Amino acid sequence: MKLINTYEEIIKKSRFISFYYEVDSIDEINKILEEIKKEHKKARHIPYAYKIDNLVKKSDDKEPNGTAGSPIFNIIEKKDLNHCLIVVVRYFGGIKLGAGGLIRAYSNSANNVVK
């Protein structure tokens, strides 16, 4: 496993921190997710998406269905990435972004971390 890049931005007082990893196994992914969850205990949501050949998974982590994991995964597909994990940690800032706002925020965070 190798951390390739990180990216951070504030959108309407919510803090989004993105991590882009090169990974080769589910074990690596589970270790990374465990570490991030330990490090960011106070984060409200930690959605992610990964692709290792035909193994794909996306998680909204309690965000409304399809507003976090899917936009992250769409960037993986659009950029034709493989053997990668993108995690976006969100610290809720008190302002609801709505479905469209969440999709844009997670999509933008994922896009910027893989640039």
Average pLDDT over residues 44-51: 98
Domain extent, residue 94, equals 2-113
From edge to edge, which strands make up the β-sheet containing 14-22? 2-11, 14-22, 84-91, 48-52, 55-59
Task: Please state, for a pLDDT cut of 70, what percent of the chain lies above it.
Answer: 100
Average pLDDT over residues 41-61: 97
**CATH code for the domain in which residue 25 is found:** 3.30.230.30
Amino acid at the residue 42: K
pTM of structure: 0.97
Binned at pLDDT 50, 70 and 90, residue 1 comes out as confident
Task: Check: CB of residue 50 under 8 Å from CB of residue 85.
Answer: yes
Residue 63 CA, chain-centre distance (Å), reads 12
Is the predicted pLDDT of residue 112 greater than 90, yes or no?
Answer: yes
For residue 17, give the nearest of 70, 90, 76, 75 by alpha carbon: 90
Average pLDDT over residues 54-65: 97
Is the predicted pLDDT of residue 33 greater than 90, yes or no?
Answer: yes
Cα–Cα distance for residue pair 61/3, rounded to 1 Å: 21
Residues 6+ apart with CB under 8 A from 55: 26
Task: Check: CB of residue 15 under 8 Å from CB of residue 6.
Answer: no
The whole-chain average pLDDT of the chain stands at 97
Structural domains counted in the chain? 1
